[in-house]
Amino acid sequence: MGIFGKSMRIPTSEASLPGRSERMPVAQAHFVSGEPLDEKFEGFEKILVAMGCFWGAERKYWGAEGVVSTSVGYVAGHTPNPTYPEVCSGRTGHTEAVRVIFDPSKTSYEAMLRIFWENHDPTQGMRQGNDAGTQYRSGIYVFNADQRAEAETSQAAFQSRLTEAGFRRTTTVPPEPLELYFAAGDHQQYLAHYPAGHCRLRRPGLRRPVPAAVLSWPSSLRLTSPPGHPEQ
């Protein structure tokens, strides 16, 4: 999915593609769970994150305890309702993202953040492994002030563990609220439709420090890939 030779800088709004006013049509039901993809989901909570290729990121979430529904799309760009080729061109400013709906009686925002940090490398800038481009940058996009505070605390804690292990600083975009534009239907639950599909997610091999509220988390470092990834 990496596209070589394209710009590694987010374009200005003036330089971005014009897009369209029509929303992307999506399936009524999640291919794996059968739950809706685009509903109000009253009584549930949600998290929106970018962690590289959204095919693999979505798969990390849809089987997690307490997750009701997942969907993929594009955030943090300028072009309204972009298509996948437009995003991959580097001319919309978006990054690939996954939105997760979860049941707070069965899991927590903290647990959702743990999946985010532990399943990609947040130090690589505009890439994940060989997937290079603005659409592969890391980000957390919040829906309220409580999420912002928890995400900021989470990022600081994980950075402390990264620094201790010799990794560079995270390039994860600071938590901010943004609109999600749904990706086309053939990208939703892609790796359930095509289990052998290609998607790279690189992990730094760390588990972040134990928050006071989650005493069951392991406190020891687990470093499984070399420190010192090149800065972008």
Q: Which residues are identified as catalytic? A: 53
Nearest partner of 117 among 140, 142, 148, 94, judged by Cα: 140
**Do the bridges between strand 127-128 and strand 131-132 make them parallel or antiparallel, or are there none, so unpaired?**
antiparallel
CA–CA distance, 157 with 148 (Å, rounded to integer): 14
Helix axes 54-62 and 109-118, enclosed angle (nearest 10): 140
> Which two structure tokens, joined as six digits, stand for 162?
């990264």
> CA-CA distances (angstroms) from residue 42 to 66, 101, 102?
15, 10, 11
CA–CA distance, 181 with 98 (Å, rounded to integer): 10
DSSP category for residue 173: B
b (16+ CB within 10 A) / e for 104-138: eeebbbebbbbbbbbbbbbbbbbbbbebbbbbbbb
Total residues found in the chain within this entry: 232
CA–CA distance, 126 with 231 (Å, rounded to integer): 10
> CA-CA distances (angstroms) from residue 174 to 99, 142, 171?
17, 10, 9
